[in-house]
Structure 1
Amino acid sequence: MKTVIDLNADAGESFGRWKLGDDEHLLPLVSSVNVACGWHAGDPATMRRSVELAKGAGTALGAHPGLPDLAGFGRRALAMSPAEAADACLYQYGALRGFADSLGVEVTHVKPHGAFYGLTMRDETVADAVADAVASISDELVVVLHAGATAERVAARGLRVAREAFADLEYDENGHIIIEPQPLPKDPQECAEKAVAILGGMVRTTAGTWVDIDADTICIHGDRPNAVEIATAIRERFAAEGVTISPMREVLAER
């Protein structure tokens, strides 16, 4: 079983007067945060506040570019060419980088959001375009991709990839995540149990079977109503198992 892992959260997804998630309490519980960059959620004030929270918590900061779909929270499928995907990634990274630079915080990773993330899983050319766009910024910048064939293929090209698994999502019999349009509360202990299984290289599917998984980072979603309770349960279980939670770069350095 792995004894060092990154625990990341998708956050910074409020918009204007509409607040989503409890970022103030969630960010100190994770080692990396993926901040929405204005296309699927987030706005300038929210982005600035998210960077401030990450800085205060000592949490590694990452960009979370999504599809241009505020109404659908970036979870509705849209067509995007590889070139468009790369440009979308660079554009949104740049928006977050402005706030990060102003506050003296490094952006360490980029993780596509929602349907954009799903597109990288289904289309190799999009995954390559996103990974190449991230690498063009810095060879130290990490791209986060779904643990499995996509991540392994991109990593084999010599790019810095964090292989991601999910503690609060279900997996189908093919080992693919099942996206919920409207996240509901999940049993924190069940999520913690899934996280431990992931450390052991396995994840249980909705069909009751087990599939292999090799993850560097485990995600929880900040828009889930009880995300803080889930993160707390995972941290407590990891502590009991002697597992160290570290940012992505540190995990990759030991891989």
Structure 2
Amino acid sequence: MAMQIELNADVGEGGAADAELLALVHRANIACGWHAGDGATQRAALAACRTYGVRAGAHPSFPDRAGFGRREMARAPADVEADLIVQIAGLQALAAQMGLRIEHVKPHGALYNQAAREPELADAVARAVRHCGADLLLVGLAGSELLRAAQRHGLRSQAEAFADRAYLPHGSLAPRTRPGALLHGPQAVAQGLALARGEPIATLDGSLLTVQAQTLCVHGDDAGALDLARALKAAL
């Protein structure tokens, strides 16, 4: 059974309650402008991290503002590596200007999911993270290629799970387009508690899956994000 688990939140993506959300979590994944956000939203998120003592991290994506970074791309690993260096380094520079530092990197959306299953793409992400700082923590889907790439490239990693997303039997997230892929309210809280305890959860097809995770994500762009974070924190 898990004895300790963090909460993290994706922020700077247009969510109305980012500041309140950051009062409840341990890590903030700040959108780097390529799927959402800009300098002003990044600065606001960093300021909230400073106020609440939250660890600030970069949340880079494919170049896809029109699709909110959720459309898969056949992008060359070298191009993805360059994309991420630009995004991470930009947020690092802004954080340094404010007397803060970026402590982790968590890819966003389609990039996150593709890197979870594609070793070459996962290696590109890990190379970019290492270039920006060998001490950076790489956050990725529990049991994924992204965590194996972190190990190959000498990076610390953190295995992530999701209270508000249904899983497929092999451990990947169910696509948002599938019925039942998004969990809400008591169902999401119950899954979050099971994940924190290391207990099996039901997948979308009804089979059981055990996920070994160190952090739970709350999606800041969801309308119910603040309520879910409050309920999860109280339950945990």
Shared fold (TM-score, shorter chain, > 0.5): yes
Matched, 1:21 2:19: no
User: 1:207 aligns to what SS in structure 2?
Assistant: coil
Residue 5 of structure 1 contacts residue 216 of structure 1 at CA under 8 Å; is this kept in 2? yes
For normalisation by structure 1, the TM-score amounts to 0.85
Gaps of 5+ in 1: 15-19, 239-255
Identity of aligned residues (%): 39
Matched, 1:144 2:142: no
* 1:29-57 C-alpha deviation (Å, 9 max, x unpaired): 11001000010000111111111111111
Query: Which 10-residue stretch deviates more, 33-42 or 93-102?
Result: 93-102
Q: Distance in 1 between matches of 2:150 and 2:128?
A: 14
Residue 34 of structure 2 contacts residue 60 of structure 2 at CA under 8 Å; is this kept in 1? yes
Q: Quote how far apart the aligned CAs of 1:155 are.
A: 4.7
Distance 1:109 1:152, change over 3 A: closer
Q: Distance in 1 between matches of 2:216 and 2:201?
A: 12
Q: Distance in 2 between matches of 1:81 and 1:207?
A: 33
Q: Distance in 1 between matches of 2:163 and 2:34?
A: 25
> Bigger relative contact order, structure 1 or 2, given CA contacts below 8 A and separation 6+?
1
Count of aligned residue pairs for this structure pair: 233
Residue 28 of structure 2 contacts residue 49 of structure 2 at CA under 8 Å; is this kept in 1? yes
Query: Which 10-residue stretch deviates more, 167-176 or 144-153?
Result: 144-153
Matched, 1:196 2:193: yes
Gaps of 5+ in 2: none
Aligned to 2:106: 111
Query: Which 10-residue stretch deviates more, 126-135 or 199-208?
Result: 199-208
1:1-255 matched pairs, under 5 angstroms: 1-14=1-14, 20-157=15-152, 158-180=154-176, 186-201=183-198, 202-238=200-236
Q: Quote how far apart the aligned CAs of 1:185 are.
A: 8.1
For the aligned residues, what is the CA RMSD?
2.0
Q: Distance in 2 between matches of 1:230 and 1:99?
A: 30
For normalisation by structure 2, the TM-score amounts to 0.92
* 1:45-84 C-alpha deviation (Å, 9 max, x unpaired): 1111111111111111000001111111010111211111
